[in-house]
Structure 1
Amino acid sequence: MSASLPVKVVMIILILASVWSWLIIFSKGKVLATAQNKAKKFEEHFWSGVDLNRLYDSLSGKKNTGSAKIFEAGFKEFKRKTQAQSGIRSIEGSDRAMRVALNREIEKLESHLPTLATIGSTSPYIGLFGTVIGIMLSFHALSDVTQATIALVAPGISEALIATAMGLFAAIPAVIFYNRYSDKVERIYAQYDAFKEEFSAILHRQIG
């Protein structure tokens, strides 16, 4: 609390960055876990032998996500194209619709992850800036005295070290969870993409 004003500003910035990153960590963790569970449940239902038309009717008009959204987009386009065009063109249209839906779902899952990366990469430098300010003020305090003692420089050095520690405290969790969640998003993408390809193969067999 007795730190100089510039260092206090740095500390406040780091505290806000840390709080922001933890809010993202908790919310994004819940979102990714929900996405994985929903994808697993939907695919189990899909492969249970349910009629595709009946499954589409049960999903139509709802706010679907993940694999359900990809299925809805692909089957809707498949039905629409099949009524007016050849089978091959209906498959191509369905593939495009599923690819667009897949990319949009992944964009949602990736939201706020760049913020974690930014906090993780910049917080140490912000803390270092506070460290430099604290040390500069400590040396500046020595210019007005004839005899330097540890008591004169100790407060400035202390606040400088605290700023460094706070920078690391904000950065380390952000980097850890950014890497962890990026890996989860990649796995979910692979799961969605595999479902899209398998569903596309089923549609190919239907027109074959």
Structure 2
Amino acid sequence: MQEMDLMTLVLTASPVVQAVMLILALMSVAVWAIAFAKSNELRKSRLQAEQFEANFWSSQELTNLFKEVESNRDTHKGLSLIFADGFREFIRLQNQGVTNTTDLVSASQRAIKIAFSRENDRLEKHLNFLATVGSSAPYIGLFGTVWGVMHAFQSLGNVQHATLAAVAPGISEALIATAIGLFAAIPAVIAYNRLSNRVDLLMNEYENFADNFLTILQRQAHLYDKKA
């Protein structure tokens, strides 16, 4: 089918089928925009995590690293904020005179868990839209196809002699809706699976760091308890 023929079929389609095509086209554009934006965001988050973890393990004093993160909190994301929230709670309880190791570590763990959940929500933002498009776009396209076919057969009622040439354009324009639906759904499913996997890997790195960080806080709490 030539490009001009395809455009003609789209322009001459029934209003309902045209509306379906427009919705699917907008969904397809949104899928590609979200996929590229989220991929770039995850890449930056991974680089930031690697850089912060290197700074963490090379730091001689966690208090100095904490002050550095807090002074530029608006520019930090991910791992650095998980560290800052956990260490802030640890210092706050120490300043209040709490010396029990379990209390110090448990409070820090709760703060880390909250920060961890917040970062997980940030990384997964808009992924549900990709999943929704991947599951619903084919059905939306199928609805446009069914409506178009129904409209094509209804038009045969005004024709005394039904021929393939008379019904073919209506069926063709109807099938375009299904094609556009698949064009929107397939990239959405691929992008969702790929990005979800990257989010899971990044969150696993965050979780491993949090476990190591809590171990360090536990050792510091023991030392603080002995001095007290």
Question: Which runs of structure 2 are paired with 1:52-131 in the superposition (5 Å)?
Answer: 52-61=62-71, 62-63=73-74, 64-84=76-96, 85-86=98-99, 87-131=101-145
After TM superposition, the score normalised by the length of structure 1 is 0.97
**Partner residue of 1:12 out of 19, 22, 28:** 22
Q: Is the 8 A contact 2:69 2:84 kept in 1?
A: yes
Pairwise CA RMSD: 1.0
Aligned length: 208
Where do 5+ consecutive residues of structure 2 fail to align?
1-10, 223-228
Over the matched positions of the two proteins, sequence identity in percent amounts to 47
- The one-letter amino acid paired with 1:53 is T
**Partner residue of 2:42 out of 17, 32, 48:** 32
- Cα deviation, 1:102-132, whole Å, max 9, x if unaligned, reads 1101101111111111111100000000110
Q: Is the 8 A contact 2:59 2:65 kept in 1?
A: no
**C-alpha distance in structure 1 between counterparts of 2:158 and 2:131, whole Å:** 43
State the Cα distance separating 1:150 from its structure 2 match.
Answer: 1.6
| Residue number in structure 1 paired with 2:171 | 157
**C-alpha distance in structure 2 between counterparts of 1:145 and 1:52, whole Å:** 83
1:47 aligns with 2:50: no
State the Cα distance separating 1:20 from its structure 2 match.
Answer: 1.2
* Equivalent position SS for 1:60: helix
State the Cα distance separating 1:17 from its structure 2 match.
Answer: 0.8
- The one-letter amino acid paired with 1:12 is L
- The one-letter amino acid paired with 1:80 is R
Where do 5+ consecutive residues of structure 1 fail to align?
none
Runs in 1 of length 4+ with deviation above 6 angstroms? none
